[in-house]
Structure 1
Amino acid sequence: MSGLMTERHPVGARTAETEPGAPHTGAAPVRVSRGTRRRLGPGRSLPLGRLIGPALLVLAWWAASASGQLDPRILSSPGTVLATAADLIESGRLQDNVLISLRRAGLGLFFGVSAGVVLAVAAGLSRSGEYLLDGPLQIKRAIPSLAMLPLLILWLGIGEQMKVTVIALGVAVNMYINTYASLTGIDGRYVELAEGLDLSRATFLRKVVVPGSLPGFFVGLRLGVTSSWLGLIVVEQINATSGIGYMMFQAQQYAQSDVIVVGLVAYGIFGFTSDAAVRAAERKVLSWRRTLAG
């Protein structure tokens, strides 16, 4: 606490005690800081730095398996998992299931993002839209999409339409909440300035609304991508006949932990790479911002 109360001066600055001709007040001289400024931010980012954490987890897993501390009946070793993945790729089973899963997740993400953005714009830029849409969507936010599975199965059956709808619902809510919050959080002074400049509606949307809502949009997109994978895992284990989740469910019946881990690794790779792609797009589009993320 005492350090926060100490008066600091720029390097090379003079204090009242050292200034020629300054009256002596009897106070202790103030120490002038001669060192470099203390870095308070997180520091420089490293290329591929986010791979360090997953790499350490794999190394710990490998070490535990090699030392015999990890029972292979509970969790297969990394070598066994790699061999199983090679067998699945050679037979074509893994690629077929991966393509089906990617299609489901992609469709759910597309429809969810589109619906969430449209609803957020309608509610964020219009009072009537806010009164009509925000309440039901806040209620939907409190109801997990997975809790609606019995009703969706009753309405849509157990085919692809139900699976894509479950994924899209989770994505749409995340997109709506974050984009709507970003829209309604735009500083009112910018709106007043646009009105003072007599900007058209289209120019106002392009110059004020879109830049102001992009940070929230990208936060919602990252959460939406995560939601699409979470929804995919669930729907592929409910009356499915294909997909990574179905492959894992079948492996569970025969206690094939290596196949289950292959599926988990596939989900993890999808989630990590998709999030990294959204991060890269965010840095490029919002390059005008200076944040701690770098």
Structure 2
Amino acid sequence: MTAIERGGRPHRPVSARQLSARGYLVLSWVVPVLLLAGWEAMARFGFIQPHVLPAPSKVALTAWKLTISGALPGDLGVSLIRAAVGFAIGGGIGFALGILVGFSRMAEAVIDRSVQMVRAIPFLALLPLVIVWFGVGESQKIFLVALGVGFPIYINTVLGIRQVDAKLLELGRVQGLGTRELIRRIILPGAMPSILTGVRFALATAWLALVVAETIGSQSGLGFLAMDAREFLRTDVIVLTILIYAAIGVLADTLARSLEKRLLQWHPNFGSRR
């Protein structure tokens, strides 16, 4: 007699959802692995010249040699510190301005137009002026990172605050919540998905700004490593720095996703994810 005939529910594997999640995780890595395998094969069989694009195995060997010599850890550490400091400064300013503009129409009238005008200026157009202001030292690099990071967080903070459901605000007022409690318990939690989306965009922008900054007059960092390799036609080192940027970007996005899951457990679109 089957489980259905006995009036019970049909048996389902306990780990069905987990297996599905693992399957999707494996699938997400299939294409990158196949691309690396194809790249390696084409390089080994001579379809790609080593001076144009070295094989992944050659790049991995270069990474090992630079790690042993201490050059790669040192430059990577310098770039990470620059990105972290710039992100903290730019993110803090962007979040503060976003809160101010999100809650005040007067602040929007005074601040938003100027912020949008500066946001429209490309990094490369600002670079000569930034060099005049700060030279080519650490301040110049941190300033560019902070500038790039601030805008995504600012825009998404304002957007998140403005998109909070008015019915929730009215419900909070009916329940007797004051302005401070409304902000803490309704507005900021409601704006958090948008703010964290801004953080994810800002993480990507931070590395873009840092690449631009480190290619001008730098004596350390991943950008300096790539530019120095260009002078000696070391395409293996150049490709290595590109792959490191990609890996850091993926890792940063993964950390941002983990932060989303932790802070948005109450949200049906985030809390139900495994």
TM more than 0.5: yes
Q: How does 1:221-236 map to 2 (within 5 A)?
A: 221-236=199-214
Match of 1:213 in 2: 191
Normalized per residue, the structure richer in helix is 2
Match of 2:21 in 1: 45
Larger radius of gyration: 1
Q: Does structure 2 retain, via aligned residues, the 8 Å contact 1:146–1:231?
A: no
Partner AA of 2:95 in structure 1: V
Q: How does 1:175-194 map to 2 (within 5 A)?
A: 175-194=153-172
> Relative to structure 2, which stretch is displaced further, 43-52 or 182-191?
43-52
Q: How does 1:54-73 map to 2 (within 5 A)?
A: 54-73=32-51
**Which one of the candidate residues 176, 183, 188 is aligned to 1:198?**
176
Residue 262 of structure 1 and its aligned partner are, at CA, apart by 1.2
Task: Report percent identity of matched pairs.
Answer: 34
Residue 264 of structure 1 and its aligned partner are, at CA, apart by 1.0
SS of the aligned residue for 2:119 comes to: helix
Mapped to 1, the partners of 2:113 and 2:91 lie a distance apart of 19
Deviations along 1:90-126, whole A, 9 cap, x unmatched?
1101111011000111111111111111010000011
Partner AA of 1:236 in structure 2: E
Residue 141 of structure 1 and its aligned partner are, at CA, apart by 2.1
Mapped to 2, the partners of 1:141 and 1:161 lie a distance apart of 20
Residue 195 of structure 1 and its aligned partner are, at CA, apart by 2.4
Residue 44 of structure 1 and its aligned partner are, at CA, apart by 4.7
Q: TM-score if structure 1 supplies the norm length?
A: 0.81
Whether 1:102 aligns to 2:62 is no
Mapped to 2, the partners of 1:52 and 1:272 lie a distance apart of 16
Ranges in structure 1 where 5+ consecutive residues have no aligned partner: 1-42
Q: Does structure 2 retain, via aligned residues, the 8 Å contact 1:146–1:166?
A: no
Residue 67 of structure 1 and its aligned partner are, at CA, apart by 2.6
Let me know the Cα RMSD of the aligned residues.
1.8
**Which one of the candidate residues 128, 147, 158 is aligned to 1:169?**
147
CA 1:125–1:196 in 2, change beyond 3 Å: closer, same or farther?
same
Query: What count of residue pairs does the alignment treat as equivalent?
Result: 252
> Relative to structure 2, which stretch is displaced further, 207-216 or 45-54?
45-54
Match of 2:14 in 1: none
Match of 1:254 in 2: 232
Q: TM-score if structure 2 supplies the norm length?
A: 0.87
> Relative to structure 2, which stretch is displaced further, 200-209 or 269-278?
200-209
Partner AA of 1:241 in structure 2: Q
Mapped to 1, the partners of 2:42 and 2:265 lie a distance apart of 43
CA 1:222–1:92 in 2, change beyond 3 Å: closer, same or farther?
same
Partner AA of 1:66 in structure 2: R
Residue 87 of structure 1 and its aligned partner are, at CA, apart by 0.8
